[in-house]
């Protein structure tokens, strides 16, 4: 009898496993449907507000598109005109130089400030966080006006302070050698608040036990910084590096308000160049082609940064 029952169980087992597998497949299939259903609103919004405008911009870039005249297909002429325009190429190179001035300084100052805030506790840390975040809520127009007043040749605070040590007045925004670094300072100031708070969040996320164990092993401040803090902050640095370069290349308001691209186009950044052509040209194919090429530059710079920093190793630890 026992043998008969075992045989019956052995006969029933494959059917049971098949039923169980079928139930699991149906459950997974149902979960997949729910996942697609929940993703649908996001995909629709992405298609409406990102993909469709991008495709439409690419389409328009092949025409002499205008608000006031019929469009004419010109093929790649707009792209050829942009790529052979020395003014556009100079504005891109100038933008890269501007980003090279802004981003490293912003990261260093934000990292130093985040470490300073972390060393404090309670109310003092709160005051410091609010203080550093203030530039982020000030409009770029107001910040530009404030720094224009600071840089004023006559009566400016900077020239007044330097005059105390015997330096002659300088037209910071009126000379080609000083205008670009001068507008880089407010750009650093504007982006420093958010960068500092992100850095602080990254620092607070590092377990204190790591530092305590390192202290027991006799590690000093520098050793902890090199072997614990910087490796664990790698992804934070990568994020701020990529977004910082992209943001710096796209600055428009600061050079527009402070110098309007002058003197002698020394502060004409790529977005200001495109903005001028879009607002002054009769046909919009050229500035749209320039904007798409700038988009490729931004994507290439981001890819190079990802490649150099090797983010996948940072994620895997």
Longest alpha-carbon distance in the chain = 111
pTM confidence score: 0.80
C-alpha count within 13 angstroms, C-beta hemisphere, residue 86: 1
Give the CA distances from residue 28 to residues 20, 21, 46, 97, in Å, rounded to whole numbers and listed in that order: 12, 11, 26, 52
Per-residue pLDDT tens over the stretch 37-65: 889 999 999 999 989 998 988 998 898 87
Per-residue pLDDT tens over the stretch 121-152: 777 777 887 888 888 888 899 999 999 999 99
Per-residue pLDDT tens over the stretch 281-312: 888 889 999 999 999 988 888 888 877 776 55
Residue 207: both structure tokens together: 């377990």
Q: At what angle do helices 234-249 and 86-119 cross, to 10 degrees?
A: 140
> What integer pLDDT is reported at residue 3 of this predicted model?
47
Q: Once rounded to an integer, what is the mean pLDDT over residues 84-113? A: 93
Do the beta carbons of residue 282 and residue 66 sit within 8 Å?
Answer: yes
> What integer pLDDT is reported at residue 72 of this predicted model?
86
Measured CA to CA, the distance from residue 89 to residue 79 in angstroms comes to 12
pLDDT above 70: residue 2: no
Measured CA to CA, the distance from residue 104 to residue 98 in angstroms comes to 11
Q: What is the DSSP string of 150-175?
A: HT-TTT-HHHHHHHTTTPPP--TTTS
Give the CA distances from residue 156 to residues 147, 151, 159, in Å, rounded to whole numbers and listed in that order: 9, 5, 6
> Which residues are CB-contacts of 112 (< 8 A; sequence separation ≥ 6)?
none
C-alpha count within 13 angstroms, C-beta hemisphere, residue 177: 2
Do the beta carbons of residue 285 and residue 74 sit within 8 Å?
Answer: yes
Q: At what angle do helices 176-204 and 140-150 cross, to 10 degrees?
A: 130
Measured CA to CA, the distance from residue 236 to residue 238 in angstroms comes to 5
Confidence of residue 10 (pLDDT cuts 50, 70, 90): very low
The DSSP output letter for 311 is H
């Amino acid at each position: 009898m026992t043998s008969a029952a075992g045989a019956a169980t052995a006969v029933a087992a494959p059917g049971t496993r098949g039923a169980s597998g079928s139930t699991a497949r149906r459950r997974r299939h149902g979960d997949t449907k729910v996942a697609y259903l929940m993703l649908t609103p996001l995909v629709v919004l992405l298609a409406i507000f990102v993909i469709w405008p991008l495709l439409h911009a690419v389409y328009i870039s092949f025409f002499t598109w205008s608000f006031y005249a019929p469009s004419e297909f010109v093929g790649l002429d707009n792209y050829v005109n942009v790529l052979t325009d020395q003014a556009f190429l100079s504005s891109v190179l100038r933008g890269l130089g501007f980003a090279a001035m802004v981003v490293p300084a912003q990261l260093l100052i934000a990292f130093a400030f985040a470490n300073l805030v972390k060393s404090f506790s309670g109310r003092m840390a709160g005051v410091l966080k609010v203080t550093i975040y203030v530039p982020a809520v000030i409009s770029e127009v107001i910040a530009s006006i404030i720094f224009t007043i600071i840089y004023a040749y006559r009566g400016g605070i900077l020239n007044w302070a330097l005059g105390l040590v015997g330096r002659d007045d300088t037209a910071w925004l009126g000379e080609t050698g000083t205008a670009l670094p001068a507008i880089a300072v407010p750009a650093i100031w504007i982006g420093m608040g958010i960068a500092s708070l992100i850095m602080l969040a990254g620092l607070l996320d590092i377990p204190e036990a790591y530092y305590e164990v390192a202290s027991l092993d006799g590690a000093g401040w520098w050793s902890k910084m090199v072997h614990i803090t910087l490796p664990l902050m790698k992804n934070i640095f990568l994020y701020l590096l990529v977004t910082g370069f992209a943001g710096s290349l796209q600055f428009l308001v600061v050079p527009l308000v402070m110098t309007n691209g002058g003197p002698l186009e020394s502060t004409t950044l790529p977005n200001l160049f495109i903005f001028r052509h879009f607002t002054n040209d009769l046909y919009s194919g050229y500035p749209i082609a320039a904007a798409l090429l700038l988009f490729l530059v931004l994507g290439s710079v981001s890819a190079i940064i990802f490649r150099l920093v090797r983010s996948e190793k940072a994620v895997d630890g």
